[in-house]
């Protein structure tokens, strides 16, 4: 079987198409979750903690220089890391709920 024929068989299988649709929907879902965390969840948390904007929390390891050419500061952006971790927790929890629901449906059919 030729490489092209083998690829055609793979590409038209239902699993490959389902996987492609899942990837596109997953990417869109990730964007929505990122916006929800950055624009809805983190501002009230920051407000409760005294007006902290998590995106700007960082530790400066080396200050920016005004030399020629100017060098940017070297920083550990732990606030952005906190946002990313919350994104991950929301996505993981959402996937858990979907899988749990699918497993419940499968048990009902068996």
Closest CA to 25 of 83, 86, 95: 95
The pLDDT of residue 18 is above 80: no
The CATH fold assigned to 3-109 is 1.10.1200
The per-residue pLDDT for range 49-108, each reduced to its tens digit, is 888 888 888 999 999 998 888 899 999 999 889 888 888 888 888 888 888 887 888 787
- Give the per-residue pLDDT at 14: 64
pLDDT at residue 62, rounded to an integer: 93
Q: pLDDT-derived band of residue 110, with 50, 70 and 90 as boundaries?
A: low
Overall average pLDDT of the 10-34 stretch: 79
How far is Cα 25 from Cα 19, in angstroms, rounded to an integer?
A: 10
**What is residue 3's predicted lDDT score, i.e. its pLDDT?**
86
| Total-model pTM | 0.63
Q: What's the confidence (pLDDT) of residue 76?
A: 95
Domain boundaries, the chain: 3-109
Q: CB under 8 Å to 56, separation ≥6 — which residues?
A: 79
């Amino acid at each position: 079987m030729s490489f092209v024929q083998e690829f055609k068989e793979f590409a038209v299988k239902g699993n490959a198409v389902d996987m492609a649709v899942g990837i596109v929907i997953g990417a869109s879902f990730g964007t929505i979750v990122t916006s929800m965390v950055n624009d809805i969840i983190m501002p009230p948390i920051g407000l409760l903690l005294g007006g902290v904007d998590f995106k700007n929390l960082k530790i400066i390891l080396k200050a920016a220089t005004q030399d020629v050419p100017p060098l940017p500061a070297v920083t550990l952006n732990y606030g952005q890391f906190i946002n990313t971790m919350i994104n991950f927790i929301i996505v993981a929890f959402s996937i858990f709920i979907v899988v749990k629901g699918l497993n419940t449906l499968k048990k009902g059919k068996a």
